[in-house]
Chain A
Amino acid sequence: MVDTREDILARLLVVVGTIPGLRSSHRNNVDITEEMLPAAIVFDGDETTVAGNDGSRPSNRPLLVEMTPEIVIAEQSDEVGSDLTTLRRELIKRVLLDTELNAKTGSNGKISYVSCQTDVGWMRSLHGALRAQFMFKYTLKPDEL
């Protein structure tokens, strides 16, 4: 059994966990307390087939898909803007340059940084969160699932 999607998401959590300064890293955890901050949360992404896969072909033929997981980084501090900038830099660098992740996407796949959004608000200190999306393109092989 080979499930590239799961392999990528599992590895993504490991990679995110290596970002310096994080206190915790999670997968799909939607309930974070301030004691866990700075925290990074990997959310399983939507998956879509790449245009051009359709047409007359056997249903078990390999097809290219794109998955867009989201990673949320949350922090509380007086310098939350600068902190998030640093964490974003480390996140992008580690995801795009990780050898294992790139290997999992295969010879005709790729990893792209898509975008990020930020949210801020007051709690005990200034709170900030950064939501970053990446796109993983890889081959889905039904026969190997």
Chain B
Amino acid sequence: MSLDYSALLYDPVYLELGVPATFVSGSVEADLTVIDDTRPKIIPAGSVEVRSVGPGAFVRMQELETNGIVRDNWIDAAMNFNGRTWTVRSWELRGSPNGEDFGEVRFLLKAAEVG
């Protein structure tokens, strides 16, 4: 494939939509650029619909690799961006036409414990 989607697609998107974030997992600390993907979320409970948000963040796989962040570091990592601190509870890969190593990961987050 001749097209480099990282340069043509992700770089301008992250330049426009990305925000600075800190990522901490044990001894691994890094400054990243993430796209805040906090979405509205509804969970039904019988007749009730409870409304909240499902926090998430996109990060480029290449940026994680550049900062020495491997998959073992993802779960339970602390991420801070846009004034809030979250904990990574799960993740899902978003591959690119150049392969998953050149795509994104969407971190599924939960509110960090206070205190």
Contacts and interface: CB of A to CB of B under 8 A. Distances in A.
Interface in B61-115: 89, 108, 110-111, 113
B113 A124 contact: no
Interface string B10-32: 00000000000000000000000
Contacts, number: 68
Contacts of A70: 46-47
A73 to B, nearest CB: 9
Most chain A CB neighbours (cut-off 10 Å) among B41, B50, B54, B55: B50
B43 A30 contact: no
Interface in A63-91: 70, 72, 74, 76, 78
Main secondary structure of the interface of B (DSSP, over half): strand
Interface residues of B, number: 19
A30 B47 contact: yes
Contacts of B54: 122-124
B48 A122 contact: no
Interface residues of A, number: 25
A128 to B, nearest CB: 9
Contacts of B46: 43, 70, 72, 117, 119, 129, 131
A122 B41 CA distance: 9
Given A78-B113, A122-B89, A31 B49 contact: yes
A38 B95 CA distance: 39
Nearest to A76: B52
Interface in A86-143: 117, 119, 121-127, 129, 131
Interface of B: 41, 43-55, 89, 108, 110-111, 113
